[in-house]
Structures are given as structure tokens and as C-alpha cells.
């Protein structure tokens, strides 16, 4: 949590402009990129303050693998723009966030394990 608000770690199944977008389930050294990033987020939870890991994908196999790893998985259209994926996810009527809450969102790159700076949901939705 940051400032008493939840922190959502978002893992898109691809990163805009990344030529590896369809490689998230390919194994290298015995693990997929998805496994690496989800394990990394759980292992660094104290440093990043992440409360929930959410994987966004248009691929059912990716979503099934994410759920097996303990992440929330959600089907989104196959956009190549991460910002559009985020807005689509958070605008979905099935995603219930209390109107009085303004959670933080951190996007993780599934290939480099790097993440952006935390942004509040209201900032994302207004951009």
C-alpha cells in the first residue's frame, strides 16, 4: 500500500513496440517470462508495496498460466498500447473499485522485469 491505497502491479502480455510480445510463454532456462516477472513481483513486494498482481492478455493460455501463478488474470482486447489496455481493464464493469479509492498502478515489463513509477488510477484514466 501507498498512502493507504492499494497498489496494483500490472503485467501486460506485451510492451508497446516490443518485438517479443508473443514470447511471454516461451521457456528460457526452465522458466517463462511470465513466471519470471510474477515471481519477481512477489519477491520484491516489500520494496514495491504491491498488493495485487494483475496480468492482462488476449491469450487464454497466458491468463491460465497467470492464474496458476497466483496472479489475477483478465482478458483484454489485443491492443499494442499498454495505456489503452489499462483503461480498458479499469473501465470494465466487472472490475469493481470503490469510487472513493484511487489505487496506485505500477506496470512491469515481463521481459526486463523493470517497472514504471507508480501512478494513481485517476491519473491514468485522465490521460
What confidence tier does 43 reach under pLDDT thresholds 50, 70, 90?
A: confident
Q: How confident is the model at residue 22 (pLDDT cuts 50, 70, 90)?
A: low
Chain-centroid distance of CA 113 in Å reads 11
Q: Give the chain's length.
A: 127
Strands 7-12 and 52-57: parallel
Domains annotated for the chain, with CATH where assigned, are 7-126 (3.90.550.10)
Residue 43 backbone dihedrals phi, psi, to 5 degrees: -70, -30
Interhelix angle 33-43/60-68, nearest 10 degrees: 40
Q: What is the mean pLDDT of residues 24-43?
A: 89
What is the DSSP code (8-state) at residue 34? H
Q: Quote the CA–CA distance of 18 and 85 in Å, as a whole number.
A: 15
Q: Which H/E stretch holds residue 28?
A: strand 27-28
pLDDT band at 19 (very low <50, low <70, confident <90, very high): low
User: How high is the pLDDT of residue 71?
Assistant: 93
Q: What percent of the chain has pLDDT over 70?
A: 88
Among candidate residues 82, 85, 63, the one with its CA nearest the CA of residue 74:
63
**pLDDT tens by residue, 50-101:** 889 999 888 899 999 999 999 999 888 766 678 888 888 888 878 888 778 8
Residue 20 reports pLDDT greater than 60: no
Amino acid at each position: 500500500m501507498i498512502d493507504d491505497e492499494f497498489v496494483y502491479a500490472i503485467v501486460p502480455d506485451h510492451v508497446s513496440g516490443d518485438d517479443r510480445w508473443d514470447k511471454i510463454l516461451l521457456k528460457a532456462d526452465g522458466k517463462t517470462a511470465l513466471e519470471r516477472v510474477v515471481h519477481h513481483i512477489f519477491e520484491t513486494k516489500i520494496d514495491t508495496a504491491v498488493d495485487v498482481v494483475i496480468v492482462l492478455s488476449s491469450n487464454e493460455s497466458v491468463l491460465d498460466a497467470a492464474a496458476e501463478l497466483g496472479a489475477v488474470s483478465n482478458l483484454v482486447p489485443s491492443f499494442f498500447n499498454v495505456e489503452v489496455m489499462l483503461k480498458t481493464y479499469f473501465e470494465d464493469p466487472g472490475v469493481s473499485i470503490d469510487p472513493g479509492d484511487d489505487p496506485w498502478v505500477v506496470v512491469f515489463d515481463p521481459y526486463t522485469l523493470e517497472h514504471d513509477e507508480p501512478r494513481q488510477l485517476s491519473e491514468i484514466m485522465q490521460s
